[in-house]
Chains A and B, each alone.
Chain A
Amino acid sequence: EDQVTQSPEALRLQEGESSSLNCSYTVSGLRGLFWYRQDPGKGPEFLFTLYSAGEEKEKERLKATLTKKESFLHITAPKPEDSATYLCAVQGSNAGNMLTFGGGTRLMVKP
């Protein structure tokens, strides 16, 4: 059974204070690892897909990296509008088309 664990559960940063979110996973044959952003009362919004160890993707202040056991979402010089819950999910080769999500990291960026 695929499993995803995210840490920390909550993170408070000052504006401009860079940090990283962790996503540890176990999966039978990784088909893809996904990062989503979720604002309160809304559905998750797609950010990145990573397919193999060593891969990196960037978008504005966000950078996602992948190893064989974990993924990191690095946030550089965050702004208050980056405050949201960040979700990590995996799709394994035995899982059909379903995604297995972690519990998320709730990020709060104070001005």
Chain B
Amino acid sequence: DTGVSQDPRHKITKRGQNVTFRCDPISEHNRLYWYRQTLGQGPEFLTYFQNEAQLEKSRLLSDRFSAERPKGSFSTLEIQRTEQGDSAMYLCASSIYGTGGDRYTFGSGTRLTVV
């Protein structure tokens, strides 16, 4: 296993378009998280899955954002009708149940630029 993989690494899109990002976690990790990070800031929690169940969503997550984790494996994060304020690095992390944040392994992120 080579760690958490995210695709694409970079995405430039026009305002109003829909975008989808993919995250492949470490295979034995049953927890998967999405965070957003803007320049000069720390990561901000978006949502969390345990296996295929989405257990937590940030209050900051607008209706334009949706995430799925079919069959408890890879996950996708979709942003509909993108806005310039959505420009950020989208980070995925995975962990093993019972070990909490100290086993978070982050991917390298998808950098989204909305023009």
- Do residues B108 and A41 form an inter-chain contact, with CB atoms below 8 A? yes
Taking residues whose C-beta sits less than 8 angstroms from the other chain, chain A's interface range is 20 to 34
Taking residues whose C-beta sits less than 8 angstroms from the other chain, chain B's interface range is 20 to 34
Closest A residue, CB atoms, query B10: A41
User: Given known contacts A45-B106, A96-B55, A97-B48, is B101 in contact with A32 (CB within 8 Å)?
Assistant: yes
B interface residues, Cβ below 8 angstroms from A = 4, 31, 33, 40-45, 48, 55-56, 58, 91, 93, 100-109, 111
Between A and B, 26 residue pairs with Cβ closer than 8 Å are A4-B42, A32-B102, A34-B104, A41-B108, A41-B109, A42-B108, A43-B93, A43-B109, A44-B43, A44-B106, A45-B106, A46-B104, A46-B105, A49-B102, A89-B101, A91-B101, A97-B33, A97-B56, A97-B100, A97-B101, A99-B101, A100-B45, A102-B42, A103-B40, A104-B40, A104-B42
